[in-house]
Structure 1
Amino acid sequence: MQEYNFTLKYRLAATDADQDDIVERLGEAGCTDMLVGIGIAGRLALQFDREADGARNAIRTALEDVKAALPTAMLVEAHPDFVSATEIADLVGKSRQNIRKLMVSNPDFPSPVHDGPSVTLWHLSDVLEWLEARKEYKLDKRLQETAHATREVNVAREAARLPSIARELEMLVA
């Protein structure tokens, strides 16, 4: 068993407005290994430090526990997956300038999944794989495993939304 660190971010139903009740329900469901963040009304961030025999199992059981406690909560994102250059630097113990230099000087650096005017985001698992192939970085295997698992969760969440979006678009174009 190892400890895996990850964050699950949720959108809450209007009926889940009582913060004390939310914390109580999460504790009763087995979520005693996390910190609760409620900074934005209707949103919830749960930072887990969960022991399991793998990142997938840690995240799966956390998702099950949250679903049991807050059945109407909608998963927004599992983290670490989408990361900025600053987050990459923090996670691998390098400076942002070091990471930026790698991005600029290596055309094979992973492509971002979002390249906006104020923020660029990558899948952390892509960047960690790339860094590992360079053999110049000592990377935490649990972080790599967690990045892969959170990416899978986020991709599955988006894929689950596709049928309803496809139906909506079909109605608009027909």
Structure 2
Amino acid sequence: MDYIFTLKYRLPDEGADLDAVAERLGAGGCDDALPGLGQAGRVALEFTRDAASARQAVLSAMADVKAALPEAQLVEASPDFVGLTDVAQVLGLSRQNMHKLMNKYRHSFPSPVHEGSTTIWRLAQVLSWLQARGSYELQDSLIELAQATMQVNLARDAAMAAPLPADIVAMLR
């Protein structure tokens, strides 16, 4: 099955030759990725990868990028972080209808990971909530992909974090 996802990386040298980066990625097995090199020091790779599972697709793509660009640091795997507009697009709804749905079920709707002028959720959590409601037709492959990218982002964050003090861990349980 083909899985479409994006991996965003920070490159160590902002003055890197972007053509050389693209060449290294292509030669390193990332020929199924469309590179976006618009931001200095960053590369976004939109993969269309055939694999037996979303997890296998994402991890094999990450391994190929690591082999081609060992100095690159993963910034984000997506789809993971989404706003209401993103979720509405996935469902084929308007943003207003998605907002009404969220407000109507505010006590059970997944908690955002960030609230502010823009509120952000994890796509996997919203899709799982919608699937449990049984009101929307969702592709299992999208749910699987959203879970895989969420796990990658959580693992990246955990690897970068200092060990948690026991009193904080106790409060999270």
Q: What residue number does 1:111 align with?
A: 111
Q: Separation in 2 of the partners of 1:90 and 1:147?
A: 15
Identical pairs, percent = 54
AA of the residue aligned to 2:55:
R
Q: What residue number does 1:68 align with?
A: 67
Q: SS at the partner of 1:163?
A: coil
Q: What residue number does 2:6 align with?
A: 7
Instruction: Please tell me whether the aligned partners of residues 11 and 41 of structure 2 are also in contact (alpha carbons under 8 angstroms).
Output: yes
Residues 1:39 and 2:74 are matched in the alignment: no
AA of the residue aligned to 2:132:
A
Runs of 4+ with >3 A deviation: none
Instruction: Please tell me whether the aligned partners of residues 16 and 22 of structure 1 are also in contact (alpha carbons under 8 angstroms).
Output: no
Q: What residue number does 1:137 align with?
A: 136
Alignment length (residue pairs): 164
Shift in alpha-carbon separation, 1:165–1:24, aligned structure 2, 3 A = farther
After the TM superposition, which residues 1-174 of structure 1 pair with which residues of structure 2 at under 5 Å, given as runs? Answer: 2-14=1-13, 17-106=16-105, 107-116=107-116, 118-163=117-162
Q: What residue number does 2:169 align with?
A: none
Q: What residue number does 1:171 align with?
A: none
AA of the residue aligned to 1:108:
S
CA RMSD of aligned residues (A): 1.6
Instruction: Please tell me whether the aligned partners of residues 14 and 41 of structure 2 are also in contact (alpha carbons under 8 angstroms).
Output: no
AA of the residue aligned to 1:114:
H
Deviations 1:56-107 (A, max 9, x none): 0000000000001111100000001110111111122211111101111102
TM-score relative to the length of structure 1: 0.90
Q: SS at the partner of 2:76?
A: strand
Please, which runs of 5 or more residues in structure 1 have no aligned partner?
167-174
Instruction: Please tell me whether the aligned partners of residues 7 and 74 of structure 2 are also in contact (alpha carbons under 8 angstroms).
Output: yes
Give the drift of 1:163: 2.9
Q: SS at the partner of 1:114?
A: coil
